[in-house]
Structure 1
Amino acid sequence: MKNVAPKAIAVQKAIDEVMRRDKGRLLSGLISRFDDFQLAEDALQDAVISALGHWARSGIPNVPTAWLMKVALNKGIDRIRAKSREAQKADNLGQISLDYAEPETPEQIPDERLRLIFTCCHPALEEKSRVALTLRTVCNLTTREIAAAFLDNEQTMGQRLTRAKAKIKSKGIAYAIPDRDQWADRLDTVLSTLYLIFTTGYVNEEDQARDLCREGIFLLRLLAQLQPEDPEIEGALALMLLTQARKPARVDAEGRNVPIEDQNDRLWQADQLNEGQAILQQAIARQHPGPFQIKAAIADCHMMRPTPDWVQMSLLYQTLWTFEPTPIVALNWAVVLAEIGHVDIAMQKLDQLAEQLEGFQPLHAARANMLAKLGRVDEARASYAQAIALAPNTASRLFLQHKYECLPGGER
């Protein structure tokens, strides 16, 4: 009996690790076979429950991901067989299960995630639902995390996800990468989704169990192989690589975020920086501009030394506005305007955005910084307090607290 508790803990840790690392791969593989989101999720949950008992008795298998895939396939077929009217379908799936050879390594398990992303991003779904469903199924984000990314409440987002899965089933949306002539309807959303996967990981880097930054880059490279020489795919990949290159310099010795313009560029990862810049130049040379290319160019200008090219960044934001006239673009453009001396104009723009972005933390951080520049210290202090309360991670919170304490009259 003494060994029961440690063994159970080890099994639970193993399952947690597999689900954090490979749930997206498992779900995409199951959905490809069952053609049913809900059945795939239920079957995987059944397999996890089985693993708790089986692994405790027989030990953790050499390839836990493959074990879960095999058992989930069988559990799904059992669920189908329980519905007698689908007996023929069950027989067919049973043959698929028998044909599934358990691989010797996790890398040998087919990766169906890109097909799943294209399915989630079908134009029959609302764009918000497309992105949310992808984050839920491919990246294993919780409904709460997705709701936070969209500034929604958890219940509303849960209902949206349920409706999206039901619509895919009722419309008979194929689980497949579409023909090239259908890419235009989905590619923008696919790119936006992959970038949101990346940025979610970048903001939530304290959760080391899920490297969503690496996941986003990996999936985008797969997309680039499917559709080579596409300037927007190249622009999105360049943007991710340039952003990831700065990761070692993001946080100082005190654990505080470091703004890009203040980072030690000798800490940047040269291989990712050079690749990102080369891909960006390649995309620009194709002379077919798009929003991801512009965003990558902005990132490149922000990383220039000895100081960022703020003027060029402002011009780029002006161009980006023609593609994406959104509050987020307006906010970032205002921040750049403040850096080139137009603080009053920038402040007016932020005031205009206050209602639309009330719960958006970067707005309050930007307001605090601009109010401090204008000498409106009490208002700056209040905005810093709001930004600190909404900070997405410890490094951001510590940075903002430091800025707060550096205000005239603040604690030092």
Structure 2
Amino acid sequence: MQENTSAITSTQHIRQLNRSSIMNALRSRPGLTQTGLIHHTQLSRVTVSAILDELQQLGWVVGESEERRSRGAPSTHYRLNEAEMTFIGVDVSPEGSVLSLVDVYQNLVTKSSFTLEEFLTGTGDLASALNRSHRRVLGGTVSVPGIVSSDSTTVIESTVLPSLHYNELLLKLQSSLDVPMRYINNAMACALTEALKTSVESLVYLSVGSSIGAGIIVGNQPLSLGNSVGEIAHMIVNPQGPYCDICGRNGCLDSYVNVNSLARQFSLDAVDPRNLTAKANLLNAIHALLEDEATDHYTLLHDSFDAIAQACESITFLLGRIPIVLGGKLGALLRPGTELALRRRNPWIQPEIRRQHFDVEEQWRPSVGAAMFAVNSWFVSPNSNQR
């Protein structure tokens, strides 16, 4: 009896692998014919035909016949059905909460924004309405400004909401959508978006807002190994620098670039980091000051620019000269001063500082990246992610 069970399990596993192989082929090369799928996957004609029939019954694959140009049956070209395969990304931030939906080819379908309170109290209703209006959501991800476990299932620490609130949010979404949900760090979500949309295999994304976060993509894969690996925000740039309340050390990058540090350099009053509204208002005030071209920002924020420059040098020493994107609400405005600091620090070590290329408004970027992460996660093992 045990041998029969093992044989059935093995057969099912092989079938799942074959189905994943065909779906991944159609994801990377939409429009393949059955012959093309056989060549691409190295599966038999019988296997490809049976799995295509199954996927069409599920509504995940559609076939389109071309006009007959010669004798014989017309060829049928297959593609994934983007209308039946969508993925949700959610970003919760002090400025508000946003929700994005992308299709299986990672094209943006729709997006919505809410106040933080509206979203937290109405999460279930919002998700259910989205699922009804866009037919079939297969998976999703919540973008978190903080540290996420390496398996993307737990929020370890966040600068916006307590971990418990995030867990409640995830459970509500899973229940309303009836799909698996995961977490991703918001800077990592932005990094993934930039990498996928610009076809760059490796990059570092520094997201500068109320604090600084980093997302690292190496060889098309997010670098997330747990235990704060890749947590560039709290790397030490000056051991004699300001004290950081988060990491408990002096002179980390975040202690020079967080919203209160920038406020002090602009002679503005600091705010309680736990007051999300005050923090968001202060961030907007700093953004407005940075947009003022008449101000000598380099002299005023010299310590912050030098800290970012030193962090970029360290990244280049560690990972090589890969693109470093300055993003987030303040990133683009801080890029000129950072580039000047790099030239003055060491002309022989010049990291590649790059502007954002993916054309989407900053407030939507983490949620779009979270949705794209959901697509990629689903395709790693689509069968185990089904409900």
Higher RCO (Cα < 8 Å, 6 or more apart): 2
The structure with more helix, counted as a fraction of residues: 1
TM-score higher than 0.5 here?
Answer: no
Normalising by structure 1, report the TM-score.
0.28
Point out the structure with the larger strand share: 2
